[in-house]
């Protein structure tokens, strides 16, 4: 596996180039395979990227061939301000002509977390043939503690090798989460992290360390078997790398 670090002084330039790369991957997958399947990241960092995709690439991306999934979700209603689905809907999905039946949010109401995880796995299995889903692109954020998606240090979900979706408990509210598991992310064709700020430098260091233990640094466990990891980073996080 190869790590490609793309470091930018200017956040706007990072977002511009990251959006262009996502659009390129989407157009290439659609041309080659007739569809583009992407798992979106939550949190705050990716929101400008989603807004740039809607603003600058609305006409370039073949939205009729795009299927959107989520890498993780807070177990709150979809209209809750903390919902990853709501953030992506407001920043991107409500602004582009993607068919509504190609938007696949994680279920967060009317089911227990365990039922919701099983239900989402069924959704993924309906979309992907084969023993593991092959996302064309997984977008991921990075927490200061080394978590990514809702794979948190010490969590049982880190050891999941059979299920595609697992329940998770975050240290912060809303604690209940759902997350794709390592095998799903590691079968993706491309994994792109986007992270910034000095506070995440140690998390980046451990994520890049081939000796790091995913138990302590979950982002280090994202190692796509047939792909590479691309890191979209600001100068602050890189400048603060220890050592
Ligand atoms: C979430 C994300 C989570 C996020 C990191 C970074 O649901 O919050 O999936 O993994 O990517 O916590 O969050 P920020 O981008 O807000 O710093």
187-195 mean pLDDT: 97
Residue 181 Cβ inside 6 Å of ligand 1? The answer reads: no
Whether 25 lines ligand 1, by a CB cut-off of 6 Å, is no
- pTM for this model (two decimals): 0.97
Q: Does any ligand 1 atom lie closer than 6 A to the CB of residue 143?
A: yes
Q: Residue 127: what pLDDT?
A: 96
pLDDT tens profile 52-106: 999 999 999 999 999 999 999 999 999 999 999 999 999 999 999 999 999 999 9
Distance from the alpha carbon of residue 46 to the mean position of ligand 1, in angstroms: 9
Query: CA separation (Å) from 235 to 48, 205, 242?
Result: 17, 14, 14
Task: Please determine, for residue 217, whether its predicted confidence score (pLDDT) is greater than 90.
Answer: yes
């Amino acid at each position: 596996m190869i790590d490609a670090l793309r470091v930018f002084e200017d956040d706007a330039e990072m977002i511009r180039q990251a959006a262009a790369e996502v659009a390129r991957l989407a157009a290439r997958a659609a041309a080659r395979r007739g569809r583009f399947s992407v798992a979106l990241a939550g949190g705050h960092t990716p929101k400008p990227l989603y807004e740039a995709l809607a603003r600058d690439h609305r006409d370039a991306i073949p939205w009729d061939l795009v299927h959107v999934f989520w890498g993780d979700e807070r177990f709150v209603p979809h209209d809750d301000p903390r919902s990853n689905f709501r953030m992506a809907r407001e920043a991107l999905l409500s602004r582009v002509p993607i068919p509504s039946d190609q938007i696949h949010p994680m279920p967060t109401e009317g089911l227990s977390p365990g039922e919701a995880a099983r239900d989402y796995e069924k959704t993924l299995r309906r979309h992907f043939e084969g023993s593991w889903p092959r996302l064309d692109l997984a977008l991921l954020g990075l927490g200061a503690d080394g978590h990514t998606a809702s794979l948190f240090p010490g969590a049982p979900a880190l050891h999941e090798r059979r299920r595609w979706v697992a329940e998770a408990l975050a240290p912060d509210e809303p604690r209940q989460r759902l997350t794709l598991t390592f095998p799903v992310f590691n079968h993706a064709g491309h994994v792109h992290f986007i992270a910034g700020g000095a506070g995440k430098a140690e998390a980046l260091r451990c994520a890049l360390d081939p000796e790091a233990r995913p138990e302590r640094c979950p982002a280090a466990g994202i190692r796509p078997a047939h792909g590479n990891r691309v890191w979209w980073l600001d100068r602050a996080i890189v400048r603060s790398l220890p050592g």
